[in-house]
Copies of this chain bind each other. A is one copy, B any other.
Amino acid sequence: MSGDTQSPDFGHADSLITVDIGAIVENWRYLDSLSGPRTETASVVKANAYGLGADKVAPALAGAGCRTFFVMSLDEAVALRRVLTETGYKERRIFALGGCHVGQEAAFAESRIMPVINSLDQLRRWRDAGSMTNGWSAAALHLDTGMTRLGLDPKETSWLLRRVEAGDTPLAGIDMQLVMSHLSAGEDLAGDASDRQLASFARLCAALPNLPASLANSGGTLRGGDFHMALNRPGIALYGLHPAGLDTAGDQSDQAASLHPAVTWQARILQRRTAAAGDRVGYNGTHQLQRESHIFTLGVGYADGYPRSLGNQATVTIAGMPAPVIGRVSMDSITVDVTGLDQARLANASHAEILGAGYALARMAGDAGTIGYEILTQLGRRPTRRYVNC
């Protein structure tokens, strides 16, 4: 038996999320090992390190050798700068993917944040920020190649390249650290979207020489080859999830096995009950019992980030034994059917594992009809959090 029989310390809460910082560091090392010495491996720690705690994750990755971090907003960037400075990594680079918005120029400079420039308007404003930024002009340039979301659109990119071809210097006055683009389906080996984006981005980079280039997210990092440019910037894979999720097969499956899951989630058994055949369980009685049943009520619900769509779908593990979630997910609890499971082992159990070795994130996401990214970033504040292998 594993540590599953040990009673976790829930404190005054009803569930416990354990984040394995060592696993995240190992994942970064693995991802870094996939590329050659001319490719830097950065880390994407936006959305509070995909919900797991940027204040714990980023210093650990910096300690492992990561020199560059990506966040989304200025808020996230300022918080990360503070954390990295306090932990002795004040010179690490921080890029804000959302760009610098009107009025934010001085704050970017003050915390030495590098905006990812997403439009010609942002390019002009950053170039002309002048006295507001006290000489701080570091940035990245994002050229869209198929996401149609952020980055210069094709018309803007064409304008920029025509200026360069004409001998102008439209990037003058900016310390451009990176030119980047973003894959829309980096995990999809069957389609050709990534190959087309790679070809398109390579053409653009050739027209903007001498700028370090970056295309690879987790999918591109795992794919390798020409996707590895000057800098890879994995996100989800750091946190132990292969971007292809449940669809991994072949080489992708081997890669997924090399990534260490970073999260375990355990919930208190709030109550043990019996119910009769014919009884209905939970809101709107969506599950009807076919036999006299033993039911455990567990202290986790959608307010904790356990997706409501897992009602009548998910599995939990109690003392190493699987038990199905029956009925709807409530705000604060779920009900699981333990009928027929080994009573002696159940008797000693104080909790259930709702996410972990017995029910992995990719499977939970598949059962919930979403992706692991959403589950991680939606993990709630109410569960107790524990960080291990820091």
Residues of A that sit less than 8 Å from B by CB? 11-14, 46-48, 50-51, 72-76, 78, 97-99, 101, 104, 107, 118-119, 144, 146-150, 153-156, 184-185, 188, 193, 268, 270-276, 279-285, 289, 295, 297, 299, 301-303, 305, 308-309, 327, 330-333, 335, 369-371, 373-374, 377-378, 380-382
Contacts and interface: CB of A to CB of B under 8 A. Distances in A.
A383 to B, nearest CB: 10
Query: Which A-B residue pairs are the 5 nearest by beta carbons?
Result: A47-B303, A303-B377, A12-B75, A12-B74, A72-B332
Contacts of A283: 147, 184-185
Contact of A381 (B155, B284, B381): B381
A45 B295 CA distance: 27
- Copies of this protein chain in the complex: 2
Contacts of A47: 301, 303, 331-332, 382
A273 B153 contact: yes
Contacts of A299: 72-73, 98
A271 B104 CA distance: 15
A118 B193 CA distance: 55
B305 A378 contact: yes
Contacts of A302: 373-374, 377-378
Contacts of A12: 73-75, 78, 104, 107
Contacts of A13: 73-75
Contacts of A331: 46-47, 50, 72, 373-374, 377
A295 B118 CA distance: 14
Contact of A370 (B73, B147, B154, B309): B309
Contacts of A188: 284
B51 A282 contact: no
A117 B377 CA distance: 34
A382 B76 CA distance: 8
Given A12-B74, A185-B283, A99 B271 contact: yes
A71 to B, nearest CB: 9
Given A99-B271, A270-B98, A297-B150, A284 B184 contact: yes
B378 A150 contact: no
B281 A148 contact: yes
B148 A185 contact: no
Contacts of A156: 273
A73 B382 contact: yes
A13 B73 CA distance: 6
Contacts of A193: 284-285
Given A98-B14, A98-B299, A148 B374 contact: no
Interface centre among A12, A14, A98 (most CB of B within 10 A): A12
Contact of A148 (B270, B279, B284): B279
